[in-house]
Amino acid sequence: QVVLVESGGGLVRPGGSLTLSCAPSGSIFGIANLGWYRQAPEKQRELVVREISGGRRDYGDGVKGRFTIFRDNVKNTTNLVMNRLEPEDTAVYYCNARWMGFEYWGQGVQVTVSS
């Protein structure tokens, strides 16, 4: 059983920053490609950023240059750093792990951007 536990969500003002963390269980951290998706109310889940082969990153629309993903190899977490947040970034953010055709999801964490 793979479990992904997200943390770090909350309310932030437009233009602010927030960092989300995801702690995968077991040994999945070292072998899976990790990423983040989000789902706004009444919209489909969409890619935010994910690791792909060759150490590259695949970004969703509208976040490149504002959001980035990095691994903390001491804490075994993947982290989503979000800068210059906009109200349109309001959504539930989900951690994702992909390995050998299997896909795992966290429970999601709410991010609200509002003044």
Classified as helix, coil or strand, 13 is coil
| HEC secondary structure over 33-69 | EEEEEEECCCCCCEEEEEECHHHCEEECCCCECCEEE
H or E element, residue 20? strand 18-24
The C-alpha atoms of residue 81 and residue 76 are separated, in whole angstroms, by 16
Neighbours of 32 (CB within 10 A): 21
Q: Give me the pLDDT at residue 1, please.
A: 81
Q: Give me the pLDDT at residue 29, please.
A: 87
Residues making up the chain, counted from first to last: 115
Q: Give me the pLDDT at residue 42, please.
A: 94
Q: How confident is the model at residue 110 (pLDDT cuts 50, 70, 90)?
A: very high
Tokens of 46: 């969409």
Tokens of 75: 């804490």
pLDDT tens, 15-32? 999 999 999 988 888 889
Q: Give me the pLDDT at residue 27, please.
A: 84
pLDDT tens, 53-83? 888 999 999 999 999 999 999 999 999 999 9
